[in-house]
Amino acid sequence: MPNNQTKRIAHGAMMIALFTILIAIAIYVPVLNLIAMLFAPLPLAWYSAKYDRSSSVLVAVLGCIIPFFFGGLLALPFSLIFAAIGVVMGDALRLKRSKVFLLMSTGVTILITFAIEYLISIKLLETDFIKEFMEFMRENYSQAMTLSESLNGQQSAITADMMNVMFETMETVIPASITLGVFLFAFIIITINLPLLKRFGVNVPKFNAFKDMRLPRAVLWYYLIVLSINLFLSPEPGTALFVICLNFSIVLWILLTLQGISFVHFCLDAYGSPSFLKVLITIMAIPLYSYFVLIGIVDLGFDIRSFVKGKIQK
């Protein structure tokens, strides 16, 4: 027992030190900071996968406190997010959860941590970094348009009113953009770190093939609810209901588009089509996303994959 306790403390100290180094690189070293951010959750994920939850949380808390002494408040947001990611990833691996569960739990953890830090920055620091970023982009875009007009001697095709509408739309869809970006970031982190964790002796799950992807049927019901609200209630632009419906619509469109692409990949694979067709179909899905949304709806609503299998077997 004492040996196990000593081993646990030693491993915890090593992981805290490694986590602190990665956070320091992420803050202070240009270029390498992007790489450090991708691997920052790895030490705590490995520790959480090996030891119980209470020990992992303690190590994560210490991992957040120590970077604060050399990085100040700047280090705290970084360390909190990546420590939370590491603990959640490792805990899911220790409990032998599926890779989909791992992705969802990691994405939700990042969202919750980001939301808490955003609220703290507004309430305590009186800084709305999202609003400041949008104002910075608006000013830069306006300056670029002015410079282009002065160089070309012609009025820009985009008027001030059009630019205002464009940025208002961008501000409206910020929740959906952040949500999609967070889950993409979670997917990248999982994809990069799981092979390393496997090398360190951790049992890691695998995703099913993309062609076998099946979203929960609840996604279809969410889409029908949002569609019904848009058709029958027609929320006014700028209202809370309009913002909610628009952001939900964007997320659901992307999910159903992925479901439609998955079904097409399933059909191509079933008929033994060459791989370049899958690449071509995936590229075509970008401009033709509305058709793939329809395919995704049909795929979720009806068991047409069994029908395709039956046709091939005959």
pLDDT at 194: 94
Residue 2 binned pLDDT confidence (cut-offs 50, 70, 90): low
For the chain, percent of residues with pLDDT exceeding 70: 93
Q: Are the CB atoms for 91 and 48 separated by under 8 Å?
A: yes
What is the spatial distance between Cα 134 and Cα 170, in angstroms, rounded to a whole number? 9
pLDDT at 30: 84
What average pLDDT does the segment 37-55 reach?
94
More confident residue, 2 or 179: 179
Measured CA angle at 121 (ends 119, 124), to 5 deg? 95
Q: Has residue 149 got a pLDDT over 70?
A: no
Class of domain 1-126+175-207: mainly alpha
pLDDT at 73: 78
Alpha-carbon torsion 252, 254, 260, 263, what sign? negative
Among the residue ranges 28-32, 56-60, 188-192, 219-223, the one predicted with the least confidence is: 28-32
Q: Are the CB atoms for 237 and 276 separated by under 8 Å?
A: no
Chain segment 135-146, per-residue pLDDT in tens? 888 788 777 777
DSSP state of 237: T
What is the spatial distance between Cα 84 and Cα 211, in angstroms, rounded to a whole number? 31
Q: Has residue 252 got a pLDDT over 60?
A: yes
> Domain limits of the chain?
1-126+175-207, 208-314
Alpha-carbon torsion 69, 196, 103, 203, what sign? negative
Q: Has residue 314 got a pLDDT over 70?
A: no
Of 87, 143, 142, nearest to 112 by C-alpha is 87
More confident residue, 297 or 68: 297
Chain segment 272-284, per-residue pLDDT in tens? 788 888 889 889 9
Chain segment 98-143, per-residue pLDDT in tens? 888 999 999 999 999 998 988 888 888 777 778 888 888 878 877 7
What's the mean pLDDT when you consider all of the chain?
Answer: 86
pLDDT at 303: 76
What average pLDDT does the segment 59-67 reach?
91
pLDDT at 153: 61
More confident residue, 74 or 3: 74
More confident residue, 272 or 53: 53
Q: Has residue 1 got a pLDDT over 70?
A: no
